[in-house]
Structures are given as structure tokens and as C-alpha cells.
Amino acid sequence: METLNGIDIQPKEELNFDEMAEDDANSNGDDDDTADTAWFPIKISDLDNFQKVYMAGTDLDADHPGFKDPKYRKRRKLFAEIAICFKQGQTIPRIKYTPEEIETWGKVFNELKRIHDRYASAEYKQNFRELEKEAGYRADNIPQLEDISVYLKKKTGFQIRPVAGYLSPRDFLAGLAFRVFHCTQYIRHSSDPFYTPEPDCVHEIMGHMPMLADPSFAQFSQEIGMASLGASEDDVKKLANCYFFTVEFGLCVENDELKIYGAGLLSSAAELKHVVNGIRAGQICLQKFNVEDVCNTECVVTSYQKRYFFNESIEEAKMELRNLAASIKKPFELRYNPYTQTVQTLSSGGKILDIAKQIKGDVFLIANAIKKIQGNENENDSDVDFDQICQFLDVQKM
């Protein structure tokens, strides 16, 4: 095991989930329902144990643009230390970015913003405007992760956690289960502003953050994460593919036009143009999202994708994902409790009954709300079919 200023960095290859389960036996409290599955976090603070990264910014590949730049490598070490020392619940340290870093950011920001206006989804653009007002999204300012995290918490309950480098798909998806998004804080090397061989803050801030402020998209992201907890390696790979071809490279239909919501495209001007031009010329493979094809499509990380997928809506993608999640073999179902920020195992009749009681309270609330809205003669909510809602929830209109 190598160390970084006294902090242990364990290469991912050495990780052994059985050992981790032993190490973290106490983190599952007295609930032994999960004993037969791969270890997974039960409470949000368990994510502190998931910070095992492939590389921590000190270990750049020889073809990385910053490989021969000692100043850049020293800077990356600082970002790695911040991420590795971070504990759940702490404030994310603010970074004083250098003029060189801000210049790199500004070049990409201006180019991306220009093409987003035309091709990004409506949800993305709406939330981007809010981030400009609330989190300092500007060409001459790299937004602070803490400010974005505060904004996301207000919008969807998502929060950011700084990360030193690549996490395994299992660890990354586990964070989503708790509405925690692992986010890099360093920026790409200034010699090549429009290229990065790894996720950086441009990718995260310009690509991911605006969509995480959308409630439906946030729920979709969390459901992928929940499905991954305790799943086999094969199933985690399928879920990672679903994540990749939606959250990273997904397209959607908006007023009969294709729009983009995937962060990998929204943070790469070159690939975004490749997709747009390819669609116009009929030269890229674009197909409707379906789990079977998505799971059998290779995720390319060093070049453009060979195939892209679109959804009619996020709700449609959710239904596909739920079918996949239902096919994953686990001895119990899991549910997230946002009040305690813990994952509950629905492994007994008593536990299921507790959840049913909570849901009954919500259903009563909905029935009562419908009654009040329909009793208000001034209310003109003709877009909503209340009979359909009642039928869906199997409740009587009052």
C-alpha cells in the first residue's frame, strides 16, 4: 500500500469485499440481513470507507497532458489530499484556483455554453441559469463544489463529495443510492483545454450538476444506485452500462426534437458536435434506449461512443431500469430512508408493514389534496387527470 503524506491509498486491485465486510461489520449495526451479499454501505457515513481510488492524482499516465509538468502534479496532490481526508457531513474546502486554471475553465465554459443553448435539454438549461445565479457559474470563475452542493440539496437532496480520482463502478453507484455524487475538484491541464483523459471539474460542473437538480433525473440516478447495493459483479456492470448510456451519454426527445442530457456529451464540445453532425448525416448509430442493447454495448472511454441511446422521457428510462432492477437476484428488497439517511432491508413482514404504514399516510395526503383542489372552483388544473391518479394509487376520490 502506498501513502500520500501519511494517508493510505489502496490500489483498487487489492480490494477485497469480503475483507471490507469484516472490517466494517459494525457499520451494519445489529442488522445481519445483508450477511450473504457483497458488503454495501448502510448509512451515509459508511461512504467514508468507499474512498479507494484507482489513482490519486499523483500517479498520472505517461500520455496524460500534465505528466511532465511538476507544478500540475503538485497541484493534483493537493486535490487528492482534500478528497481523501474528507468525511461525510463536512463542508467541502474552498479552492483558490490559479489564474491559469481559471483561464482553462473560461475557454471551455464559453465554447460549451454556446452549443448548450441549441442542443441541451430544457431541464439542463433551466437549472444552468439557476446555477449562474446561485453558485457562481461564470467564465471567469470556477464554481466551488460546496456552493453547488448547497444548491443541489435545496433542489433534490443531492449532495457532493470530493473524490481523488476514479472510483470503481460499485463504489460510485453506491454513493448515488444516498444521493451523494462523487465529484472531482481538479481541472484538466492547461496545454489542452478541450481534452481530458479523466473526469475533471469541467466535466462534473458543466456536465453533471445541472441535471442533478432535476427531481425526476435525481430519482433515476438514485434508483440506479439503490439497485447496485449488494448486487453481483455482473449486475453492477449492467447497471454501470445503464448509467453510462443515460447519465453520461443520453439523449432525449423534446417537442419532437432530439436534445442532450448526458454529462459526457454536455462537457465535451467535440463529441457533442460529432453526435449532432452524425445524426444529421445519418452517420452515427442512434437507437431507442432498451436495457438489453445497453447492457451489450461497449462503454468507450478513450474515444467517441460507437452507439448512442435516446429516451422519450426520463420516466420511460426509469421503467426500463426498474425492470432490470427487478431481475437482479437479491434475498431482500432495499429502501432508502431519507430521514435517517440509511438503507433499510425489507427482509421481514414487520419491516414491510412499517413501510406500508408510512406509504398509507402519503396516500391519504394525496387523496385529501385532490379533494381540496377539486373543491376549489378557481383552480384550473385541466392537465392533470385526477381519476387516473386515484386509479393508479387504488384510492377512492373523497
State the residues that interact with Fe ion by CB under 5 A: 263
Supply the minimum distance, in Å, between the C-beta of residue 243 and Fe ion: 9
The nearest distance, CB 296 to Fe ion, in angstroms, is 21
CB of 248 to Fe ion, least distance (A): 5
Question: Which residues lie below 8 Å from residue 105, measured CB to CB, with a gap of 6+?
Answer: 97, 139, 142, 187, 201, 202
If phi > 0 it is left, if psi is from -120 to 50 it is alpha, else beta; for residue 120 that is beta
Q: Which of 203, 223, 228, 268 is catalytic?
A: 203
Q: Which is nearer to Fe ion, 135 or 266 (CB)?
A: 266
Nearer to Fe ion, 53 or 263 (CB): 263
| The C-alpha cell that represents 152 in the structure block | 443541489
Helix, strand or coil, per DSSP, at residue 85: helix
The C-alpha cell 487489492 sits at: 14
Cα–Cα distances in Å, from 85 out to 167, 298, 370?
A: 16, 34, 49
From 101, 189, 208, 228, the catalytic residue: 208
Closer to Fe ion at the Cβ: 299 or 367?
Answer: 299
Q: Does residue 346 contact residue 362 with C-beta atoms inside 8 Å?
A: no
Residues 6 or more apart whose Cβ sits within 8 Å of residue 88: 44, 45, 47, 48, 161, 180
Residue number with CB closer to Fe ion (213 or 263): 263
The CA distance from 167 to 47, in Å, is 12
Q: How far is the CB of 137 from Fe ion (least distance, A)?
A: 18
Nearest residue to Fe ion by CB is 263
User: Judging by beta carbons within 10 Å of its beta carbon (0-12, 13-18, 19+), is residue 88 exposed, middle or buried?
Assistant: middle
Q: How many residues does the chain have?
A: 398
The residue annotated as part of the active site, out of 267, 268, 271, 320, is 267
Q: Are 250 and 290 in contact (CB under 8 A)?
A: no
Other CB atoms within a 10 A radius of the CB of residue 113 amount to: 16
225 neighbors 175 (Cβ within 8 angstroms): yes
Shortest distance in whole angstroms from residue 152 CB to Fe ion: 15
Least distance CB 208 / Fe ion (angstroms): 6
Find, among 105, 129, 106, the residue nearest to 116 by Cα: 129
Catalytic residue among 81, 123, 248, 320: 248
Q: Is 208 a residue of the active site?
A: yes
Nearer to Fe ion, 303 or 378 (CB): 303
Closest approach, Cβ 247 to Fe ion, in A, equals: 7
Smallest distance from Fe ion to CB 166, Å: 10
Nearer to Fe ion, 120 or 263 (CB): 263
**Alpha-carbon gap, residue 40 to 174, rounded angstroms:** 7
Q: Which is nearer to Fe ion, 35 or 270 (CB)?
A: 270
Residue 144 contacts residue 32 (beta carbons within 8 Å)? no
Q: By C-beta, is 39 or 220 nearer to Fe ion?
A: 220
> Do the bridges between strand 251-254 and strand 7-9 make them parallel or antiparallel, or are there none, so unpaired?
unpaired
Whether 203 is catalytic is yes
| 267 labelled catalytic | yes
CA distances to 60, 89, 143, 196 from 70, in Å: 11, 33, 25, 18
The residues carrying an active-site annotation are: 203, 208, 248, 267
